[in-house]
Amino acid sequence: MPMATSTYHHGDLPSALRAATVELITERGPTGFSLREVARRAGVSHAAPAHHFGTSKGLLTSVAAEGFRTLVEAFDAAVEGRHDPIDRLNAMGKAYVNTALNHPGHFGVMCTDELIDQSDAAFVEASTGAYQRLLDGITAIRDAHNPNLDVDAAATMTWSAVHGYAVLHSALPGVAEKNERVLATMEETMNSFTQMMMDGYRAR
Q: Of 2-10, 34-42, 74-82, 126-134, which segment contacts its own copies by CB under 8 A?
A: 126-134
x-or-dash pattern for DNA, window 16-55, by CB under 7 A? -----------------xxxxx-x----xxxxx-xxx-xx
x-or-dash pattern for its own copies, window 175-204, by CB under 8 A? xx-xx-xxxx---xx--xx--xxxxxxxxx
Among DNA, its own copies, none, what does residue 196 contact (CB within 5–8 Å per kind)?
A: its own copies
Which of 1, 6, 8, 178 is close enough to bind DNA by CB under 7 A? Answer: 8
Q: Of 15-23, 42-50, 72-80, 133-141, which segment contacts its own copies by CB under 8 A?
A: 133-141
Q: Least Å distance between CB 51 and DNA? A: 4
Q: Least Å distance between CB 49 and DNA? A: 8
CA–CA dist 135, 177 (Å, integer): 35
Among DNA, its own copies, none, what does residue 1 contact (CB within 5–8 Å per kind)?
A: none
CA 167 to chain centre: 10
Q: Is 53 in the site for its own copies (CB under 8 A)?
A: no
Q: Is 50 in the site for its own copies (CB under 8 A)?
A: no
Q: Is 80 in the site for its own copies (CB under 8 A)?
A: no
Distances 92 to 68, 127, 131, 138 between C-alpha atoms, Å: 14, 15, 11, 11
Residue ranges that bind DNA, judged by CB under 7 A: 7-10, 13, 33-37, 39, 44-48, 50-52, 54-57
